[in-house]
Amino acid sequence: MQDSNSVGIVTPQYVHIDKPLELRSGSVLSSYNLVYETYGKLNAAKSNAVLVCHALSGNHHIAGVYADIPKSSGWWDNMIGPGKPIDTNRFFVIGVNNLGGCHGSTGPASIDARTGKHYGADFPIVMVEDWVETHVQLAEHLGIEQFAAVVGGSLGGMQALQWTLDYPEKVRYALVIAAASKLTAQNIAFNDVARQAIMTDQEFYGGDYHAFNTYPKRGLRLARMLGHITYLSDDSMAAKFGRDLRGDTFSFDFDVEFEIESYLRYQGDKFADLFDANSYLLMTKALDYFDPAAAYDGDLSIAFKNIQADFLVLSFTSDWRFSPERSRSIVKALLDNEINVSYAEITSSHGHDSFLMETAYYHQMVQAYMHNIST
């Protein structure tokens, strides 16, 4: 799995934040853990730090591999490494698992020290703004006062955007990729079907499935199958699977039959074994709630009035989950505020997942943009 420009073997690190976090919901977490990874070296001026925020099912393991674990490359390994678009020879790159996640940071599947039991349904709902607060604590822990850049795709892009709103002086550049300033009714509708699949699973037990030694695998599997359809484009599914059958003829039963069914069910099964259902609910809700313009009567231009960072906004032509139109509205609101923004609509057939792909023009754009950031 290692190439010459990989960051190589990496090890996750932990920080315990022993400072109460007041969430936007009004709930308070008295303390929490964050798991994170770093790649490259923080320079003496501490001016070369890049925070990479993850999307719905992502985590802190962005680049490199784990010792002795084959196929353990980070989810954005094609983007981050020595000589790669986000160049670890120049930048100190940080990945962090978001609060409420299920990969090491405190979340619903963690043990609540107060009760000695899993948080389960008691874990509070978190918003993108809350994540930014936790990132601030991590930055403080690492001695970073200002990020050279905050970067993210999809829900990660929303966090990068929120960073520039809440801490304008702490972000020099924001890279907002395949994102949107809010979900549409259709986006929310898909999320709700996914949540209902999980919550109506008889093994869900109102979120306290840990106490019953079970988990809502069927529901989480369906949620992922559905999500996966929205990450791909119609064209990419047609090119990859079309109407191909697994066998030679119709089976005239309801077993797996078309290749696309096989693929989706496999993706659903794999995910349901790895991810926590309560975390999935939380992450989708954070997506639904995100809407920085809401406090300004829906006027994104006014919402952006305090932004100081420069922006790179990227969208992908075949992304129907967060279409280019959604990115353009972000760019428009940035331009209304005379903010320095670069924008590109990248031709790609891979749908929303394009932001994870190694498309030459896309990577060149990021590389060039990052190259111009002084450290």
Q: Which residues bind its own copies (CB under 8 A)?
A: 25-27, 124-125, 182-186, 188-190, 192-193, 195-197, 199-202, 218, 221-222, 225-226, 229, 232, 234, 237-238, 240-243, 250, 252-254, 257-258, 260-261, 264-265, 268, 281, 285, 288-289, 291, 294
- Lookup: tokens for 195: 């949540």
Q: Which is nearer to its own copies, 192 or 336 (CB)?
A: 192
Q: Which is nearer to its own copies, 166 or 192 (CB)?
A: 192
Q: Are 286 and 155 a contacting pair, CB within 8 Å?
A: yes
Shortest Cβ 155–its own copies spacing (Å): 16
Shortest Cβ 358–its own copies spacing (Å): 23
What span, in angstroms and rounded, lies between the C-alpha atoms of 158 and 176?
7
Shortest Cβ 33–its own copies spacing (Å): 22
Shortest Cβ 285–its own copies spacing (Å): 7
Shortest Cβ 205–its own copies spacing (Å): 13
Q: Which is nearer to its own copies, 212 or 361 (CB)?
A: 212
Shortest Cβ 125–its own copies spacing (Å): 5
Q: Any idea how long the chain is?
A: 375
- Residue 172 φ then ψ, to 5°: -85, -40
First to last CA, the chain: 30
Q: Which is nearer to its own copies, 208 or 288 (CB)?
A: 288
Q: Which is nearer to its own copies, 37 or 130 (CB)?
A: 130
Q: Which residues are catalytic?
A: 154, 319, 352
Burial 283-317 (b: 16+ CB within 10 A, else e): bbbbbbbbbbbeeeeeebeebbeebebbbbbbbbb
What span, in angstroms and rounded, lies between the C-alpha atoms of 304 and 292?
9
- Lookup: tokens for 58: 């992502």
What span, in angstroms and rounded, lies between the C-alpha atoms of 102 and 24?
21
Q: Are 350 and 233 a contacting pair, CB within 8 Å?
A: yes
- Lookup: tokens for 204: 């869900």
What span, in angstroms and rounded, lies between the C-alpha atoms of 312 and 178?
11
Q: Are 191 and 284 a contacting pair, CB within 8 Å?
A: yes
Q: Which is nearer to its own copies, 93 or 127 (CB)?
A: 127
**What separation in angstroms does the CA of 156 have from each of 34, 57, 239, 324?**
17, 10, 28, 16
What span, in angstroms and rounded, lies between the C-alpha atoms of 277 and 273?
10
